[in-house]
Amino acid sequence: MTSAKFAWPSLSPETKAYVAPGNPPVLLSDSATPILNTCEISCSKNDVPGVIGEGSLFDYPGERALRVKDDHGEVVVEIWPPSVEDVSLVGAGTRKFGRGVEETFRVSGLTRDGDSYTVYFQCREPEAFERTKEAIDRHRSEIGEGRKPDEYLDAVIRLLKSRPRVNLSEVGSVLTTFEMPGGIEDARHEVETLVEGGKVEGMVDGNTFVNSYSISTGKASYAVAISFDFKDESLQIRCPKCAAAIPKKDKDSIGTCQYCGTLYFVPSRVFKLL
């Protein structure tokens, strides 16, 4: 094994608290299976340093999740496998101590609530890194096999229809649970595709999806304008009802046809052509 001196990531020596491993883990549920009995952990959420000290890692097969616990058995963070972004050894990853080997690795990603986290593990248990990675990969595979190809669309549609306004970050969180890119622009693309395909009725206003009945003070009937062309280097939207050419000089998503009075919605990706 390659020998490497471990430097605690992003934390000062004063903050790092060392607790000698060896104490047995506390099992809070019969459904939990220990993956790492005792190790040192450093956990941060949304780039804010949190728990430092002794911890353990448990697998919850029925819930398709892993949970990091501190030495009191309290859950520090839940690892949701489809949203894990990185599982890797830190530096050389291993170093020898006596006749044993110590592994240092990290797991980072997003929780089901959309919070970012990073957990560093420093462990002397055999094959700690491989066992952790194998559990995450297994859950990813099992979750993927149990889903229909377009199941993520059903989940997004249910969310968009659940209330008058939905932030695109919430849509992104749904996408990440299906192992799909969940950035704001990824969410915007999925929502606008659903709107244009008639799967949901509404519009994207900034980073928020607004249902059609709350676009104006009362119920609003509108059509999606996806036909356009350029004339004298200016964008002209085609009214989705009467097909009249409407000069578009601003980037407002909603407009009213000056010829037939139709309320129309212009997807944001059209404006990217300006």
pLDDT score for 35: 92
CA distance 2 to 93: 8
pLDDT score for 57: 93
What is the model's pTM? 0.48
Contacts of residue 245, defined as CB under 8 A and 6 or more positions apart, other chains included, come to 229, 231, 236, 237, 238
Question: Which of 215, 224, 211, 216 minimizes the C-alpha distance to 267?
Answer: 224
CA distance 76 to 57: 10
pLDDT score for 139: 85
| Structural tokens at position 96 | 């020898």
pLDDT score for 129: 92
pLDDT score for 131: 93
175: left (phi over 0), alpha (psi -120 to 50) or beta: alpha
List the strands of the sheet with 202-205, edge to edge: 165-167, 208-211, 202-205
CA distance 182 to 165: 18
CA distance 174 to 181: 10
pLDDT score for 265: 73
pLDDT score for 172: 87
SS3 66: strand
In CATH terms, is domain 33-145 a member of 1.10.260.40? Answer: no
CA distance 227 to 53: 59
Q: Give pLDDT < 70 ranges for the chain.
A: 1-30, 91-93, 96-100, 144-149, 179, 213-226, 232-233, 251-253, 267-274
Residue 203: burial class (beta carbons within 10 Å; 0-12, 13-18, 19+): buried
pLDDT score for 182: 80
CA distance 38 to 22: 7
Q: Are 169 and 146 in contact (CB under 8 A)?
A: no
pLDDT score for 10: 34
pLDDT score for 268: 65
pLDDT score for 88: 92
What are the boundaries of each domain within the chain? Answer: 33-145, 151-271
